[in-house]
Amino acid sequence: MNITRRNLFTIALTVPVAAALTPRAMAATPEVYNDGGIAVDGSDVVAYFTDGTPVAGDAAITHDHMGVTWRFASEANRDLFAADPTAYAPQYGGYCAYAVSQGYTASTTPEAWSIVDGKLYLNYSTGVRRRWERDIPGHIAAGDANWPAVLS
């Protein structure tokens, strides 16, 4: 086979396109929803409990847990999380609670949250949260049954 510059150029263009079209199912979904190693959009998960509202975490106040970096608005919140991560970390690794109840994962937005029985649940959007709220006990039971199998 005679390899020309044109053949090399064609190969160089084809390989990235083929890689982009490869199904995501080939790689397992990370256990914690993150973007670039930052958990749950950089939100301070403790603030949902202490302030009753989503609060952006500070990039200078962090704690590493489950292979990702969690950000906090204060050192006090970071210390609370570090002492008991399971008390503050969102259910289903911070993925959308409704999506997990339906058998798949989806990203979340800080504004779409609920605390149920002392546990934090995040959702893809406030609209999806309203759908999830129609049957919270049923969705939690389904999510618990699906988790963590939805990651594979």
Q: Do 148 and 97 share a structural domain?
A: yes
Give CA–CA dist 76/91, Å, rounded.
Answer: 22
Mean pLDDT of 119-131: 98
Q: Do 98 and 81 share a structural domain?
A: no
**Statement: residue 81 has pLDDT above 90:** yes
Q: Do 79 and 37 share a structural domain?
A: yes
Structural domain harbouring 94: 90-152
Q: Do 53 and 70 share a structural domain?
A: yes
pLDDT tens digits, residue range 35-61?
999 999 999 999 999 999 999 999 999
**Statement: residue 141 has pLDDT above 60:** yes
